[in-house]
Amino acid sequence: MELGKLGVWTLYNRIGRENAGEAAAVAEELGYGTFWLGNSPQLSEVRPLLEGSERLKVATGIVNVWRAEPATVAAEYAELERDFPGRVLVGIGISHPEAIRQYAKPLTSTREFLDALDAADTPIPREALCLAALGPKMLDLSAERTLGTHPYFTPVAHTRVARERLGDGPLVAPELACVLDTDPERARATARAYAAVYLDRRNYTGNLLRLGFTEADLADGGSDRLIDAVIPHGTAEDVAAVVRAHLDAGADHVCVQPVGVDGIPRAEWAALAAAV
């Protein structure tokens, strides 16, 4: 599946579910290759995005293994593949212990979910699956069982680690949140408001600590060093430089997520598409 070098990542809560088709059409017209739908959607929820565009690939970021039934996901994929062949990438993830009461054995639970997908009446092919992976074992599983990995809330350093661990071939498609604002203090305030929930989740904080950040970097809303590395700000050209840094570090595809914007971020998507 050809995702293109650049995609967009957003939530229905932000753009409005009723605007899904319009948002997909805007992204496609601007030249983005893939539209990532976040906030643990059910796979069937991507249909309006596919209907609103002609060639755009649509991916989930991510189907939550605790909130989805594998047989249902496989059946929904079969229907979407029938209607929109070759345009759906099923991103799957384990979520976080802070968000899921029954959270346990993340690697085993993810493997069991993939096993159940394989056992479904209409299995999802490996090339139409990817995993949200941060740590080394989940990265290994992403390459073993799927197209590759879709990391979230990660700096360029993680992209480099992921590519070095996976080698050539497996997909590395990081999400990149960003703030298009040339006032550094205001931009960092926007970034910290977005980052607050993630800096309270051990999967993300553990990953950042493995990458060389410290407990001091994680405290008080995140240090400038951490915030700037994970959520770059400035002009579209400034953010585009970070996109290129991810690509140079081994990413195949980067999906940008302008934060601090309500509704369809037309101006931000347009500026980033032109800059990259």
Cα dihedral value 229, 235, 241, 244, nearest 10: 100
**20 lies in a domain?**
yes
Range of the domain at 99: 6-184+232-275
Confidence of residue 19 (pLDDT cuts 50, 70, 90): very high
Tell me: pLDDT of 129 over 90.
yes
* Cα 81 to Cα 84: distance, rounded to the nearest angstrom: 5
**119 lies in a domain?**
yes
pLDDT in tens, 193-241: 999 999 999 999 999 999 999 999 999 999 999 999 999 999 999 999 9
**262 lies in a domain?**
yes
**221 lies in a domain?**
no
- Residue 90 belongs to domain with CATH number: 3.20.20.30
pLDDT in tens, 133-178: 999 999 999 999 999 999 999 999 999 999 999 999 999 999 999 9
Confidence of residue 99 (pLDDT cuts 50, 70, 90): confident
Number of domains in the chain: 1
**251 lies in a domain?**
yes
Which secondary structure element, helix H or strand E, spans residue 258, and what is its range? strand 254-258
Residues 38, 14 contacting (CB under 8 angstroms): no
* Of residues 77, 76, 88, 73, the one with CA closest to residue 24: 88
* Cα 136 to Cα 263: distance, rounded to the nearest angstrom: 36
Provide the angle, in degrees to the nearest 10, between the axes of the packed helices 236-248 and 266-275.
60
Confidence of residue 102 (pLDDT cuts 50, 70, 90): confident
* Cα 237 to Cα 242: distance, rounded to the nearest angstrom: 9
**190 lies in a domain?**
no
- If you average pLDDT over residues 173-188, what whole number do you get? 98
